[in-house]
């Protein structure tokens, strides 16, 4: 893999950002605790930091040298925290401001992928002014049934519904609209769900082994993702080698087209009728819990959880590293 193996003692005092105020706070705390213990176990001077309880300015006051972002969802994965850390000149893990903000919005992500010629399911965006009965009822005529309804700026399957009939549309849209003023309706791809993680940046980015997911009848929802052992994960995926290589190729192209760096994870569906892969979303701050997919894939590539955390931390950076700043006026202190 392209990330170097650093000396933990050279990484300085490290803040692991966890918790926050998003709907994914509970999962973020789980991820953050896992990362925290892993970094400490590798000799890193790491400490928990919850932005919901302390202002980010305290990072400077408390002498932190860099930040591991284990926040999920709004306020932590959408460019907001990344922008604040840029202003503080505090290197952080993962993608920068622009990539984080685009990837958090599934509609914007799809627009980029479509411009790049990458496959993603057909979709309809319902803006806040479109959430009336006639418009909602027309969506299945455009996308067919079943279809998926979701808030475009949430993660962890929060607010997601599978709609099998016209009568279910209103309830699904109401649920999604409770989390987001816009609603994303998406063509349902009948087939196999897979995920593919990426480590690195630009031409040095490399895809990890593909993970194939087999969920119970209830689906790969929030509860099954994090709180049950009903989901089966296969890595190696058991797919034909050529199919796995193609998924990795598409994922790398999707990652680079969005300007991601550090790490990320794409979720895809493989259509059963013709084996065609479709990109669903790109996660720029993936989960790091005991059930999470990036550590699982990294382990299959020979990278233990603790080593993964240290490598990601060592790759922490800024969008600009102070370059492009306005020159100091003559005579200024």
Known catalytic residues? Answer: 24, 156, 226, 265, 267, 281, 283, 287
Q: Are 226 and 192 in contact (CB under 8 A)?
A: no
Assign 270 to helix, strand or coil.
strand
Q: Are 207 and 139 in contact (CB under 8 A)?
A: no
Nearest to 87 by CA among 312, 318, 332: 318
Q: Are 267 and 294 in contact (CB under 8 A)?
A: no
The span from the CA of 114 to the CA of 148, in Å, is: 19
| Chain-centroid distance, C-alpha 105 | 11
Q: Given the structure tokens 């790969």, which residue do they identify?
A: 220
Q: Does the bond joining 236 to the residue before it have cis omega, within 30 degrees of 0?
A: yes
Strands 161-163 and 123-126: unpaired
Strands 147-150 and 206-207: unpaired
DSSP of 236-258, one letter per residue? S--S-HHHHHHHHHHHHHHHHHT
Strand partners, 184: 125, 150
């Amino acid at each position: 893999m392209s990330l170097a193996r650093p000396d933990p003692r050279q990484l300085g005092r490290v803040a692991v950002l966890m918790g926050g105020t998003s709907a994914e706070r509970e999962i973020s705390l789980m991820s953050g605790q896992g990362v925290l213990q892993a970094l400490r176990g590798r000799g890193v001077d790491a400490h928990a930091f919850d932005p919901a309880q302390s202002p980010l300015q305290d990072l400077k006051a408390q002498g932190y040298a860099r930040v591991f972002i284990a926040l999920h969802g709004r306020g932590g994965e959408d460019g907001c925290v990344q922008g604040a850390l840029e202003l503080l000149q505090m290197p952080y893990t993962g993608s920068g401001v622009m990539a984080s903000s685009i990837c958090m919005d599934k509609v914007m992500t799809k627009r980029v992928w479509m411009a790049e010629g990458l496959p993603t399911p057909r979709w309809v965006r319902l803006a806040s002014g479109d959430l009336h009965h006639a418009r909602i009822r027309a969506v299945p005529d455009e996308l067919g049934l079943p279809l998926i309804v979701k808030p475009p700026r949430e993660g962890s399957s929060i607010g997601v519904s599978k709609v099998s009939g016209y009568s279910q549309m209103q309830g699904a849209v109401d649920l999604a609209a409770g989390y987001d003023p816009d609603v994303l309706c998406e063509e349902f791809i009948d087939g196999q769900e897979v995920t593919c993680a990426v480590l690195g940046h630009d031409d040095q980015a490399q895809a990890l082994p593909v993970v194939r997911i087999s969920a119970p009848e209830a689906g790969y929802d929030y509860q099954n993702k994090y709180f049950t052992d009903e989901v089966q994960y296969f890595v190696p995926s058991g797919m034909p080698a050529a199919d796995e290589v193609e998924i990795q190729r598409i994922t790398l192209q999707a990652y680079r087209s969005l300007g991601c760096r550090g790490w990320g994870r794409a979720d895809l569906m493989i259509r059963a009728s013709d084996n065609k892969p479709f990109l669903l979303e790109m996660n720029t701050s993936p989960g790091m819990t005991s059930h999470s997919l990036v550590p699982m894939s990294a382990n299959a590539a020979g990278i233990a959880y603790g080593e993964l955390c240290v490598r990601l931390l060592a790759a922490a950076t800024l969008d600009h590293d102070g370059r492009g700043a306005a020159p100091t006026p003559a005579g200024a202190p």
